[in-house]
Structure formats: structure tokens, C-alpha cells
Structure 1
Amino acid sequence: MLNPQHLAVFATIIRAGSISKAAIQLGCGKSLLSRQLAKLEEDLGARLIQRSTRKLTLTEIGEQVLHEAQRIDVALANIEQMAGQHQQEVKGRLRVTCPMPAVARLVPVMTEFCQRYPQIDFALQVEDRLVDLIAGQIDVAIRVAHLDDSNLIARKLVDSQRILCASPAYLAKAGKPVVAEDLAQHACLLYINAGRANDEWTLLQDGEPKKIRVTSHFQSNNGIALVTAACSGAGILLIDKLIVSKHLKSGELVAVLDNYQLPSGSPVYAVYPARDWLALKTATFVAFLQERLFTGV
């Protein structure tokens, strides 16, 4: 196959008027350009230039090749310019995926990012299942999980904490639990995973675990549904703090049994495909996530 760079060099030689002048323009040795020109003629099986001591004269085929080579020369220059701008400006489309519970925290951060970098636009894909980032052409995924080894790059954003919380209205009606054993007398909201609800909660006191069997009248495999139920007064919720931090700040939910410790939740990662050259827009967004997304969790 022809080397496009050799065609671009050929066009530069003709434009400069000599190999020597072209070498000066390109900042390389004259002998290198001579070898590249000779290799191009060898690959084509045709002489492109009649050489003399005073000037270069194009052959008939050389004139035809020059017409196309000039287009390639311009295309290569445009590509180099685009690549340079790509790594100098935060711009373009960012394809992001996240699980449903992360939406409430992620979307305001994405909006702020767009305000700071107005040449960015987002395509957000909300999926609780794992998405193939390469097949889906995803730039960044937010994953709340312990990750398996893979060919992806993962940057930890935070080790999430878990919290027990309920609405003030529910606690006014049902009373506030004082010790872990009181949970057995309360309505609890349960997360369903793989068709099974986790109805045994573990609390730690002075490092000693207490396992409490709880009862529930509301279960879901969707974190947002559980948060909405808790805010509506349906019961006590055990959940990652990052999901309800906004509701805790607003007073819609309050912490209960905060004199106990809870096992750590799943770590939160920003995950992206391994690439030799990471786009500036992706690197900047991941850094912004670290700065903004889980501050104060």
C-alpha cells in the first residue's frame, strides 16, 4: 500500500521547488526526503520527477499524481490540526452511562460541566445492567460496585457509606428506634437483588455485629423508588448515603440509629475504555467528577 506521508512529501517537494528547500520547510534531512520520494516511485512503478541540476520537472504521471497528492497533503494537515484541537479544547459529545440511583447526583454535575465547557454535549444512558463500553461507544461509566479485572481503566471516586434513614413524618407516627433491636418493630424498605430481598440487616456497635431480621411492606429493585417511598413516609431505608445526600440536606429524610456503624457500601468508580490517547474531554470530565460528584457524601 502507498504511504500517504510519502505522497504529502512529494507534494511539498514540488511546492518548494527542490528537495533541499522542502527539507528546510519540513525540518528534516535532504537524504530522508530523497529516499521517501524514491520509495514512492518504486511503489507506483513510475517515475514522477525528471531530475536535473537546476530544476525538477514533473512527468505526465507525476502531474496526475501531484493533483491527488496535494489533496492528501491538505487532508493530513487538517487531521493534524483537528487532533491538536481535540487535545487542547474540551469539546464534543460525551457518552456517559450510570445506574438509576446515581442519576440524581450525576445530572446536576453534568449540567455544571456544560456550563463551564459550553462546547460539550452529553448523551446519558441510564442502565442498572453493565454496559459494554467499547461496543456502546461509551466514554465514561459510573459504576457502584466492586469491579472485576478487565481491560477498562477504573478511577475510584469514593468509598460510599451506608445510612439508615426515614422521613420525619414516619418517625412522628411510628416512633424513632433507639437500639438496633427496635428495627424489628418498624416497617422497613427493602432492595431486591436477583429476585431476593435482603431482610437481614447488620449493624455494628463497638465493632460487634448485630444482625436484625426486619419486615417490609415495600420492596423494589430500584433505588429511586425506595427513596421516594421513604420520603413519602413508608418506612426506614438502608441505602448508600450518596443516593440520599440531597434528601438529608433538605430534611426530607433524617438519619436514624446513627450511634451505630454500618458495613461500607460499594465503592463508586468512573470507568472508561483503555486507550493509548485519552481524549481531553474525557480526562477533564473524570477529574471534574472527582472534584464535584461525591464531595460531602
Structure 2
Amino acid sequence: MDLIAALQSFLRVAQTGSFSAVAAERGVTQPAVSRQVSALEDYLGIRLVHRSTQAVTLTDEGREFVASAQHLVDAAEALQHAAGHRRGKPVGRVRIALPVTLGLCLSRRLGRLLDQCDELSVDIILRDGVSDMIEEGLDLEVRLGPIGDSSLVARHIGHTSSFLVAAPSYLIRHAPPRHPLDLQRHDCIIYPRWGRDDVWWFYDKNGEGTEAGTEIPVTVHGRLKVNHADAAYHAVLDGCGIALMSHLMVSEDIHAGRLHQLLPDFPTRNFPLYVVYPSRRSLPPRTCAVIDYLMTLMSEDTSMALDGMPSQTHRL
């Protein structure tokens, strides 16, 4: 039995109350996680969890053991980090949460980092929302600013970039908008992004109908509303309406003619991207390697890069 791995599994089961959730995080089967915890129980000679079809709960002994288990795992990680420092290379596992679209992009470009760092492992958690980093055992999270948690350190790594798009099949039936306010007469595909999902913001750089340099908020309407960017992407390809999508999802489709970019003279509002991490300890090489890789990916994408400005790290 790998004692440290079993302790880590037990701690995550204690936090989530679910073998299945831990299995999904780690890309293994639910019985595999259950066997790890059972082996730990046999090793200790005590029952740690109650198992039922509805939930997994800790026994009294399990609750008492949590603090000791965490201490052992922390000590093992400290030894691993020390070895990594001595060897000057990233060693161990990094758990990072990202917005869904950015996470899907990162997962397609992670091979270079894993090839460079052969003792580094990365867990990617996709969600369009804010995590409790300590409770979920996260090392890093990419968030759309501003960041309001004073217990975190934030590093500005780039910004979002979105395009207003529609499929040729939609534009055959509907005249394309000439001004952002024209969108109020169109079917728009609405999905949660940041802020209000039915208000889209555009920058009037030429002052067409407004003072140059001002923002134009547009309350959009549509017959289709979804709760995920991927669903909005497939719907806009199918000609269901106009959508405001991350350039990461639609740039290739625009280039191939599957989608048309609308209102290019009215850029959409961009939001800063931050990578955040707990401030309670110095960063090990493994975590620094992932942050540096994120910075590299951002700098390679002119739509998200910091335009040559130095990245900023600050405590909030």
C-alpha cells in the first residue's frame, strides 16, 4: 500500500463525502478509491468511514484521525518539496482550477510542460465560478478579476478576449447588426459569463453615435439560454443566433468561414485574468513551473497577452 496516497485519498473523501467525486478528480474508478481507504483502515486497525448507498460519512475515529492524516501528508509533501529544491526541478502534483474555456485550451497545450518536467503532475479542475481553495486542496486558481479575498496572492497574467459571432446560416436569414444596439432586434444566445449574462458591453472606439472611447451596454434577448459555453458554441455553429464567445473557442471557426465575426469596430469588454494562490507558504518549484507556463501561453497569444507590460504580483 502507498501510505501517503491512501492518506491523501482518505482526506479528500473526508472533505467531499464521496468516493465517486474523488475518483473523478483523479481519473480512477470509484472502487479503486474505496480500496485505498479500506487498505488504510486495515493498516490502522480502525474503521474510518461509514459506507452507504446515499453518502460516505466519517466515524468518530475517522474524524479524530483527520488532523493526524493531514499532518503526515503535509510532512511528506515538505520532504518532496525539499528534494525538489535541492535538485532544482519541479516535483509533485499541482491542483489548479480554471474557467472552463481556458481549462479546455490548457489541456490541449499541456504536453510541452509535462515533457519538460517529467516528475510534475497536474490536476485540472474546470468550473466557471470561485473555489474555496483551502477546503478543496487547490494550489492555484485562475480567476477573472477583481479578486476580493485578502487571504490570497494574485498575479495578473493576461486578459479575456471575446468575439461577437454568428453562423452563415443565421446571417442568410437576418441582416447583420451595424451597431451594438442593433443586437436588441436579434436572437442572441445567452449563457453565464461574468456579471449579468444578458448585458454585453462594447467599446466605441470611433464614437459612432456616442462619445469616442465610451462603453455601450446592450441588454440582449434570445429564445435560447444555456448554462455552459460549450453549449453556446455548438448552438451558434448551428445558426441558432448571435453569441459572444471567447476567442479561444471561435478563432479557428472564423478563419475557416464556419463563423463570421460581427461588429469588429466595436471591441467587447475585456476582463483581467489572475492566477491566485494561498499566501500561507512560499511557492514550491512545481507550482512556480505551472505559473510560468501559464504566463508563457498568455504571452504567445496576442489576444490575451499583457501587451509587453511586466506581470504584476500583489497581495490583496
Q: Shorter-chain TM-score: which interval?
A: 0.5 to 0.7
The equivalent residue for 1:62 is: none
Larger Rg: 1
Residues 109, 289 of structure 1: 8 Å contact kept = no
SS in 1 for 2:225: strand
Please, which moves more after superposition, 282-291 or 120-129?
120-129
> For residues 250 and 103 of structure 1, do their structure 2 counterparts lie closer, same or farther at Cα, with a shift above 3 Å needed?
farther
Shift of 1:195: 11
Say whether 1:218 aligns with 2:224.
yes
CA offset at residue 207 of structure 1? 2.6
Range 130-139 or range 110-119, more displaced: 110-119
* Residues in 2 aligned to 1:212 and 1:276: alpha-carbon distance in whole angstroms: 44
The residue number in structure 2 matching 1:11 is none
CA distance in 1, matches of 2:227, 2:290: 29
Q: Is the 8 A contact 1:170 1:234 kept in 2?
A: yes
Higher strand share: 1
Match of 1:291 among 296, 303, 307: 296
Q: If the length of structure 2 is used for normalisation, what is the TM-score?
A: 0.60
Structure 1 equivalent of residue 68 of structure 2: none
Q: Secondary structure at the match of 1:169?
A: helix
Alignment of 1:178-217 (within 5 A): 178-192=178-192, 197-198=197-198, 202=202, 204=204, 205=207, 206-217=212-223
Aligned partners of 2:105 and 2:81: how far apart in 1? 33
Please show how residues 1-297 of structure 1 align to structure 2 within 5 Å: 83-86=82-85, 88-192=88-192, 197-198=197-198, 202=202, 204=204, 205=207, 206-262=212-268, 264-293=269-298, 295-297=301-303
Q: Call closer, same or farther: CA 1:95–1:251 in 2, change over 3 Å.
A: farther
Structure 1 residues 141 and 192: CA distance shift in structure 2, 3 A: closer
1:215 maps to amino acid:
H
What is the distance in 2 between the residues matched to 1:220 and 1:265? Answer: 22
Structure 2 CA distance, aligned partners of 1:121 and 1:81?
13
The answer (yes or no) to whether the contact 1:187–1:215 under 8 Å persists in 2 is yes
Shift of 1:112: 2.7
- For residues 294 and 166 of structure 2, what CA distance do their matches in structure 1 show? 28
Identify if the C-alpha distance between structure 1 residues 289 and 175 changes in structure 2 by more than 3 Å, giving closer, same or farther.
same
Separation of aligned partners in 1, 2:81 and 2:221: 60
Structure 1 residues 232, 284: closer, same or farther in 2, change over 3 A? same
Q: Give 1:199 deviation, angstroms.
A: 5.1
CA distance in 2, matches of 1:226, 1:279: 38
State how many pairs are aligned.
218
* CA deviation after TM superposition for structure 1 residue 184, in Å: 2.8
Q: Give the partner amino acid of 2:287.
A: T
Q: Write the deviation string for residues 191-219 of structure 1: whole angstroms up to 9, x where unpaired.
A: 24799751565552433454544330111
> Residue 253 of structure 1: CA displacement?
2.8
Percent pairwise identity: 26
Equivalent position SS for 1:129: coil
Q: Does the C-alpha gap of structure 1 residues 291 and 260 become closer, same or farther in structure 2, counting only changes over 3 Å? A: same
Structure 2 gaps of 5+ residues are 1-77, 304-316
Q: Which position in structure 1 is the counterpart of 2:25?
A: none
Structure 1 alignment gaps of length 5 or more: 1-78
Question: Is contact 1:144-1:268 (8 Å) kept?
Answer: yes
